Homo-oligomer: A and B are copies of this chain.
Amino acid sequence: MAQPETKERILDAAERLFSDLGIRGVSLRAITTAARANLAAVNYHFGSKDELIKAVLARRIEPVNTVRLQRLAELTAGDAVAELEDVLDALLRPAFELASDPDAGAFCTRLIGRVQTEADQTFREFCAEQFQDVAERFTAAIAAACPQLEPRELAWRFQFMIGSMSFTLTDALDLHTRSGGLCDPHDADDATEQLVRFAAAGFRAPIGQKNQAGQENTA
């Protein structure tokens, strides 16, 4: 107890190692060695490696979601209807800011984005839970900002926007190289403004003439 709590040291070491080497590439032994703790400490404090990963994620996700909801609350104070661009900014900027934070950020954001689409359902479900409240509130705010938008189109387009965000956070296609240095996904201001502009136009796109209501269900 003289030094930072064992639990905290394990979280720090795990976060750093995961982001450097990927989840698969890091063993519990490597983590506990780096944290100067015993192997069994992970299972004592967290229960399993999967729960440790969740704890690493939650420690970074929760503050981001808190900021998001706080900014949204400010925008909609007094039953005001917020501008679409302001709503999207409140949702996206905190995530990109975490990603560009050289201290904790680069590490963990790749993780968040990755895990959101990880092969194992476990982490996807966990992230969906963490995100559910935020998704519901922001969907409502976008609906208020776009009164002409049908619920079906709103759901699709919200999905598309979160995908754009998540994909850019992980930088799965190496945007910096691919753009010849023109774009830097770790520039939070630029990433936010670019995606706000892209998504706002997408939300405002007219819905198709043929409504899908009478369509057969092939499944």
Chain A residues at the B interface, C-beta cutoff of 8 Å: 18, 22-25, 100, 111, 113-121, 124, 127-128, 131, 135, 151-153, 155-157, 159-168, 170, 172-175, 178-180, 182-187, 190-191, 193-195, 197-202, 204-208, 212, 215, 217-219
Contact = CB atoms under 8 A, between A and B. Distances in A.
B152 A22 contact: no
B159 A173 contact: yes
B167 A162 contact: yes
Given A156-B175, A163-B165, A118 B116 contact: no
Identical copies of this chain, number: 2
A173 to B, nearest CB: 6
A197 to B, nearest CB: 5
* Interface residues of chain A: helix, strand, loop or mixed (majority): helix
A178 B117 contact: no
Contacts of A155: 175, 178-179, 182-183
B160 A195 contact: yes
27 contacts: A18-B119, A22-B121, A24-B24, A24-B119, A114-B117, A114-B118, A117-B117, A117-B167, A118-B118, A118-B119, A127-B172, A131-B173, A135-B178, A151-B180, A151-B182, A152-B182, A155-B178, A155-B179, A157-B194, A159-B175, A160-B168, A161-B164, A162-B167, A166-B167, A186-B219, A190-B215, A198-B202
